[in-house]
Amino acid sequence: MVLYALSIALDCLALGGGYLLARELRDAVWLDAGGPSILVIALPVFLMLSIAREAQSVEALESRSLAVRRAFGALFGSAFVIVAISFLLKIEDISRLGFVATFAASAIFIVVNKLIIDYLFHRWMKGAAIARLLVLDGLAARPAHQMDVVDLEAIHLRPDLGNPAVMDALSRIIAPYDRVVIACQFEDRDLWSTYLKGHDVGGEILLDRDILRGAIAIGQHGDRDTLVLSRGPISLANRFSKRVLDLVTAIIALIVLFPLMVLVAILIKIESPGPALFHQVRVGQGNRHFTIYKFRSMRADASDSNGTQSAGRADLRVTRIGKFIRRTSIDELPQLLNVIIGDMSIVGPRPHALGSLAGNTLFWEASTHYWARHALKPGITGLAQVRGHRGATETIEDLDMRVRADLEYVENWSLSNDFLIILRTFRVMIHKNAF
C-alpha cells in the first residue's frame, strides 16, 4: 500500500515537474488553457486515468515495463484532453513548445520514478508484490519461491466451522497474506472451501484429483494445479476508495454528533450505575474477532457479554434511556470509533456476537453460508438493515434473510451502492423491529 501511494504521488510530481520545467522555457501565461494552467486540467485527468489503467497494480509493481506503459498511457491521455479542450474552445495561445516540453519532461520523470519504485520494491519486498502462504493440512507439498509455510499439524490446529475460537486463530495466521494455498486431503475440501469463501484473501486448494468444487478459476503452484476459490471481494483500488469513504464519513459524523454522544453518555450514567459504553467480542472481516463499542442500553449487572439472549420488546434488562437509544439507533454511534480504528466499515454486514442464536441454534450452525458473509468488513449499517431485517432472530428463516442480503451485498459491492445504503439508512433509523 505504501509503494502504491508513493508511486502515484511520484507520478503526479512528475507531471508537476514537467510543467515547472516548461515554464522555464515559456512564461506561465503561454501555458494556460483559456484561464487555468494546463497543469490544473491535466493533473486530475492523469490521476483518474492512472487509477483506471491500474498503473499502481500488483502487475505493475512486478513489471517495470508494464508500469511505464500504463503510466505513459495515462500521461498521453491527459495530453489528448488538453488538445481536445484547446480545439473545442478555439484556444490558440498555448505554447506548442511549452506543451511538448511539459509532457516530454513528465515522461522522462515517470521513467525515473519507475526505476525508484522498482528499486524500493526489490529492496523492501524482495521482488514479491503479494505475500504467499502454503498451509499444510494432512497433505505434503513444497512451497513455491518466496512462500511461507504453516503446518497445522505441528501447531495442533485445523479448521472447525463449529468453533469460532479456532476460526479466529486460523484467520489471524493467514490474515497478513494475499494468497493462501491449502494442501489438504480430498475429504476436507468442502470444509476448506466454506472457510476460504468467507475470508478476505485469495484462497486456493491444491489439486490431487481432477475434480472442481465451486472453484472460480484454476491456479498453479509449482508444477501442480490449484483450485482458486476466492480472490477477495474487492480490488485494492476499491478497498482504498471504501476506506477513504469510511474515514471521511466517520470523522465528520463524530464531529457533528459529539455533543449528542456526550449527552447520551451522561444520561446513561445518571440512570444506572456502570460504564456508559458497552463492549462485546464479535465476528469481523475474515472471521477474525474484534471488540465492538455501543452505548450501554441495559443494566450493567444484566448485560449479556456473549449475546446469547437477544433483547425483547418488554425486556426488563433495558433501561429507560436504553429503550430510546435502541429504538433510534443512537446506541450504535460509538461504532464510529470502530470504523476509524479499521475494524468496521460504515456499510457492510452487521457483526454478530459469538453466542447469537437463530431460535435455539447458533448462527453458524443454522446457515451453511454464514461464514461467507465476512469477506468484507462488518458495517454500522448494511443492505439487510435497510431492507428491514433488524431485531431479534427468532427463527432460522430470520437469519436466512439476513445472510442472503449480506451475500448479495458482498457479491455486488460498489461505492455507489454504499452511498445508496447510507442514504436509505436514514429512513430506517427508527424501525418497528428496533427494541
Sign of CA dihedral 328, 331, 333, 339: negative
How far apart (Å, rounded) are the C-alpha atoms in residues 169 and 295? 28
Percentage of the chain exceeding pLDDT 70: 87
pTM of the model: 0.65
How far apart (Å, rounded) are the C-alpha atoms in residues 432 and 391? 9
Backbone angles phi, psi at 199, to 5 degrees: -105, 165
How far apart (Å, rounded) are the C-alpha atoms in residues 7 and 13? 10
Name which of 342, 324, 325, 341 is nearest 333 in CA terms: 325
The answer to whether the CB of 375 falls within 8 A of the CB of 410 is yes
Residues 101-139 have pLDDT tens digits of 888 888 898 899 888 888 887 777 666 667 889 999 988
pLDDT in tens, the chain (435 residues): 677 788 888 888 888 888 788 777 766 544 554 455 777 778 888 888 887 777 777 777 777 788 888 888 888 888 888 778 777 766 666 667 777 888 888 889 889 988 888 888 777 766 666 788 999 998 888 888 778 899 999 998 988 888 898 889 999 998 888 889 999 988 888 889 888 888 878 888 887 655 555 666 777 777 777 877 777 778 777 888 899 999 999 999 999 999 999 999 999 999 989 899 999 999 999 899 999 999 998 888 766 666 666 555 556 788 899 999 988 889 999 999 999 999 999 999 999 998 888 888 899 888 878 988 999 999 999 999 999 887 778 888 889 999 999 999 998 898 889 999 999 988 877 655 554
DSSP code of 32?
B
Residues 318-364 have pLDDT tens digits of 889 999 998 888 999 999 999 999 999 999 999 999 888 888 889 98
How far apart (Å, rounded) are the C-alpha atoms in residues 226 and 212? 10
What nine digits make up the cell of 106? 513528465
Which residue stretches of 342-413 are H helix?
A: 363-366, 383-386, 396-411
